[in-house]
Structure 1
Amino acid sequence: MGVFEQLNILVDGHIRTQLVASAVRFRIPDHLADRTLTDAALSGLTGIGVPTLRRYMRALEGLGLVESAGENAYRGTALMEPLRRDTGSFYGHALMAGMEYYEAWSELDFALRTGDSAFEHRYGCDLWHHFDSDDDAAVSFARTMRLNTERFLEEILGLYDFPDDGVVADLGAGDGTLLAELLVRYPKLCGIVFEQPAVLAVARQTMKDRGVADRCELAAGDFLAEVPRGADIYVIKSVIHNWNDESALRILRNCRASVGERGRLLLIEHALKIDDALEAAVRDLAMLVLLGGQSRSVEEHEALLRQAGFSVEQTLTAPSGFCLIEARPDRAA
């Protein structure tokens, strides 16, 4: 591949993002779910005129999302299934990648100049407050977090021996997938889901669907202010990377104030690795652009915990790069 072709791939990535996002917005994955449609039928469902639709479907076919099913007819491929609105695990990410995330990344220059969130600069509020005024975005984000959790759930839960009983509080629990699985595996455990009000409804449904709602309390709040008391284990997964050091310390110190002397904090993060430079750099910059946060190494996470008044008991790392750091209150701190 020549230099020109390589640069085309790099520079034109935004086109592919919008091609996929438009398919989701026009609900093409749902319309083609388990059936074949002619261009006329699909035009009627989407409102896209037939001549334009044919041009667009040619692009989706090139991306591998649809395939021809006879003259002027189409069917979705396996790649299209995760993009379905009601059942697709990738629906939320594709939707936000084509809107909120897309617009935030257009302000990358601002983030690079200032070190602050490009999303906040673009929208006038941080991502979390944006969810308060946009229920669809909140639900989409929760589903994205579910996808990210489900992909690594077995690996994460296999890292640590959870107790048979007690209370586990999941701080920033998203849709509650991680906690729900814990409650299913350990029938004597009880749980606390701590999340923003806009996301709690999704978590409530998760608990009902998994049959553990009767053992789970849902608490709305802001961990920059305080976290619930009364749990034996506090889990904080994929949260600290969303914040700069000052805010991350504030969250961890609030955890320290709520964790009893016999309690434990489990910090679970995808640790920054330098062996895959591009992946690590993109993940780190995504935290900056969207949230003003940053990826951190295992050692940096441990240092934050110690500054917040914790003693690091053990650090466990999974093949994917997820690390689980068990910490207890440092009585000497």
Structure 2
Amino acid sequence: MSEEQHLAAIIDGHITTQLIASAVRFGVPDLLKDGPVSTQRLSRATGIAPRELTRFLRALQGLGVVEKAAPDGYRAGPLARHLQRDAGGLYGQALLAGGDYYEAWAHLDYSLRTGESAFEHHHGGSLWGRFAESAEVAAAFTRTMRTNTERAVDEIFGLYAFPACGLVADLGAGDGTLVAGLVSRFPELRAIVFEQASVIEHTRRSLEKRQLGDRCEYVPGSLLDEVPRGADLYILKSVIHNWDDESALRILENCRTAMDGRGTLLLIERAMGEDNPREAAIRDMVMLVLFGSMDRTAREYEELLERAGFMVARTVISSSGLSLLEARPAT
């Protein structure tokens, strides 16, 4: 492939995004998960006319989502399992990338000119506000966060010695994947699960499905308002990078207030400059477009904590760029 062809393929990424998002929206990966299905049956199930469906499936075949199956049908391709509703780790990401995120990225120029969120500019409100408006968006986001946490959870447990007992508060817990890992490893540990009111029922159902719900207390609320008191360890995983400095400081100060001079705060982020430069740069642009925020270096996270009244006890950075900052209220 020539440089020009390679660049053309990159430019046409919007086409790939929408082909995959449509496959998920129409449920194609789920319809094929039990074996080959005829084109006619797929047409009835999706509501797409046979001619347009055949054209669509040919395109998905080229992407590895489906494969042709004789005599007149299709089966799941090697990538389909990642897009299935119940088990696919990229199901939520595909829906968001082809919907609310997609529309926001069309306004990248606005973010570049202003330093503000293109998502909020286009949608008239934050992503967090969209959760209250659309259960589908909330569910897709928590699914995406679950996948991201599942990828990192073993690395997190390898980097930090979590307490075997006491009370831990996961602030912005998503679907509870990190909490589930903690309380399943440490039978004497209890957890406060803190999430927005529009998300916390997703969290509750997820932990109850894992049969861990009775080990947790569910507290709805906003990190910008206040944080539950009384925990021994407070965890902020992939939270602070969603906020500009002013809001990030407010969240950290709320944590310090809730801690009342005791306990530990654990900040978990992927720090800029510590992993693949291309991935880090794109992730930083995602923060700008979606939230008007930024990824930060480990030192910049340390400075935020210090400005919020914390003393950073130690910073651990893995080979993949995952950064864990342990901090305590400064005396």
TM over 0.5: yes
Asked if 1:79 corresponds to 2:79, the answer is yes
Asked if 1:67 corresponds to 2:70, the answer is no
Partner of residue 46, structure 2 = 46
**Following the alignment from structure 2 to structure 1, what is the Cα–Cα distance between the partners of residues 224 and 35?**
48
Q: What SS does the corresponding residue of 2:199 show, helix, strand or coil?
A: helix
Question: What is the deviation of 1:261?
Answer: 2.3
Partner of residue 138, structure 1 = 138
Partner of residue 318, structure 2 = 318
Root mean square deviation, CA, Å: 1.1
Q: Percentage identity across aligned positions? A: 54
Residues 58-67 or 274-283, more deviating: 274-283
Partner of residue 166, structure 2 = 166
Cα distance change on mapping 1:146 and 1:274 into 2, 3 Å: closer
Question: What is the deviation of 1:146?
Answer: 0.2
Question: What is the deviation of 1:281?
Answer: 1.2
Asked if 1:235 corresponds to 2:235, the answer is yes
TM-score by length of 2: 0.98
Residues 274-283 or 249-258, more deviating: 274-283
What letter corresponds to residue 310 of structure 1 in structure 2? F
- Counterparts of 1:2-41 in structure 2, within 5 Å, are 2-41=2-41
Q: Note the residue ranges of structure 2 that are not aligned, 5 or more in a row.
A: none
Q: Note the residue ranges of structure 1 that are not aligned, 5 or more in a row.
A: none
Partner of residue 91, structure 2 = 91
Partner of residue 298, structure 2 = 298
Question: What is the deviation of 1:222?
Answer: 0.5
Partner of residue 198, structure 1 = 198
- Counterparts of 1:180-329 in structure 2, within 5 Å, are 180-273=180-273, 276-329=276-329
**Following the alignment from structure 2 to structure 1, what is the Cα–Cα distance between the partners of residues 77 and 284?**
32
What letter corresponds to residue 123 of structure 1 in structure 2? H
Asked if 1:123 corresponds to 2:123, the answer is yes
What letter corresponds to residue 301 of structure 1 in structure 2? Y
**Following the alignment from structure 1 to structure 2, what is the Cα–Cα distance between the partners of residues 278 and 138?**
28
Verify the 8 A CA contact 1:232 1:260 in the aligned structure 2: no
Q: What SS does the corresponding residue of 2:299 show, helix, strand or coil?
A: helix
Question: What is the deviation of 1:198?
Answer: 1.2
**Following the alignment from structure 1 to structure 2, what is the Cα–Cα distance between the partners of residues 275 and 228?**
33
**Following the alignment from structure 1 to structure 2, what is the Cα–Cα distance between the partners of residues 218 and 276?**
36
**Following the alignment from structure 1 to structure 2, what is the Cα–Cα distance between the partners of residues 228 and 101?**
31
Question: What is the deviation of 1:2?
Answer: 2.1
Verify the 8 A CA contact 2:118 2:290 in the aligned structure 1: yes
Verify the 8 A CA contact 1:180 1:206 in the aligned structure 2: no
Verify the 8 A CA contact 1:131 1:138 in the aligned structure 2: yes
What letter corresponds to residue 37 of structure 1 in structure 2? V
